[in-house]
Structure 1
Amino acid sequence: MFCHKFSHRDISVPVLAARLPGGRFSIFLICLLIVCSIFAAGCSSGSSAGSTKAADDTAVLTPAVRIPTADGTETIGNETVTVDISNTSNGYIMASYHGTAAQVNIQLTGPDGVTYLYFISEKDTYTAMPLSSGDGSYIIDIYEQMDGDMYSNIMSDVIEVTLQNEFLPFLYSNQFVYFTAETRAVEKGNELAQGCDTDLDVTAAVYNYVVDNTEYDYEKAASITSPYYPDVDETLDTRKGICFDYSALMCTMLRTQGIPCKLNIGYAGDIYHAWISVYLKSVGWVDNLIQFDGKNWSMMDPTMASTGGDSYDPSQEQYTVMFQR
């Protein structure tokens, strides 16, 4: 057993620190296929990291509310913590803590070398964590809080993951994109999808709804603390939120319509931020959902679209992904 010092800055909450551009989705829909035919590598090369499965395996892309379960058929751990690995092929693991510490930190390092941090604060309650890096070896390190930001290691292990389908990690509910069958945002997504013929239509309907009906909450952004987990129904009801809330709400609506959606956490320029990428059957993965406003190319980022401002030019490579949830 050894100790480690953590800082919540490691998982600091993405907030928007400047007014940036937006635009509606209509012209984007018209131009998307043209753009991707010209820049095919840029639009279709964003397949799920670490996965070698064919991107045309789209049978799983049907509307459903996919809720992780701890089946107990295969577990690892000890008397203090249990990690259920029964459903790694579906793109997630679940962990439950049985000790007395106020908080538990889980580090999940995928085959791409990226380490994801999760916190558990409820005893004997399972928390779902996506296997966002695709197929390969994952290192699991679990720490319990000793005092303040001092943690003690209580478990380390390695698991091998082979996904049934590369899209599954981005279709299920998890700690950051959390929903159940009773989530009102799921019902709203169903309502918005009515009358839509394609996933492109659904994406447009969801995007336009979130942008038109959600106001950026600057007060919340100034006072937020880590760790922070979006409440999509709260965002839906209050019609306010930070960029993390916008992205989680859109991901919830799209995932439950069978549209794989990545909640990206990283940087927009030098601003720590959250945004989304979506898989469209006719195009493939559209990283950051590029849009065209009739004059300039820009990122179709729901927060930046609704807050207005100058156009954000993707050719400057201002978006840098750190994590995908």
Structure 2
Amino acid sequence: SAIGDGPYDVLHGQTLMVSVPGILGNDTDFDGDVLTLTVVDQPAHGSLTVNGDGSFSYTPSSNTFTGADSFTYKVNDGLIDSDIVTVTLSVSNYAPGASDDYFSTGKDQVLSDNILNNDYEMDSDPVAITVLTQPSHGMISIGTNGSLSYTPDSGFVGTDSFTYQLNDGLEDSNVATVTIDVYETSMPLMGSTLSEDNSTVERLTPAQLRSVVVAAIQRWEAAINNVEITQALWTVDFRIADLPGTQLGGTYVESGVVRIDVNGAGVGWFIDQTPLTDERIARTRVDDGSDRSRNPPVADGGTSCRRG
């Protein structure tokens, strides 16, 4: 006996493949005879291939068809035909999906991008783009492949937007919004005028770079008055610890020499008031028609410190 099957689901434009045992999986023969399968009615909206083992393939005949389709078959055990049964098929479509887009461009500059880069179409169908609302502060041009060209109105700075929708020939997508930020590009320098045709790149030789580094290391400026530093060093205050206790009825006196070596090596910061020579870098410039003045790097004089 044969029992109907389905529904089998397939996307339009794609092929449904059903493996063994296929439509014979729920058919039986009480005698255990081998069954042969015969298709009685072909599907109305697609092509069908049925194999003797019950496996089959079905392809919708049109990329635009969605809905129900079916075919019928019967089995025979070598002596008697079964009843004719129906296999149902369901051809469906996934609507395309449109995602919001965010772009930016400078004032009076044309934006070029693509609005379909983040959209999707599960069936891989070609989609048509329909602009629902136009931008308020510019003009747009959209190609069939999603390419976008946006030209802001002259002098406009701010946010502009438009909306669009996709259609795959069967269904519309959701509505997506494209937001465009038009930013200011001119940043005037107050009180400065500079006119130059090309940029200037200056290079230091290894010797010049080394002299700059050495001068920078030696020149750690003290942020206090030099005279105050010198006066503080003239006065030394100290006490001798761990002296024996006083004797009853008298005062303990012991002579000795305390030596203070102001030039002795030690650990701490040492103040050196010797003026240092500024490092100056010679620069050669080729005049290419522009006029631009630059001062060479100069390390300002001051009190230096070194780590002892």
TM-score, normalised with respect to structure 2: 0.21
Greater relative contact order (Cα < 8 A, sep 6+): 1
Larger Cα Rg: Structure 1 or Structure 2?
2
Q: Which has the higher strand share?
A: 2
TM-score, normalised with respect to structure 1: 0.20
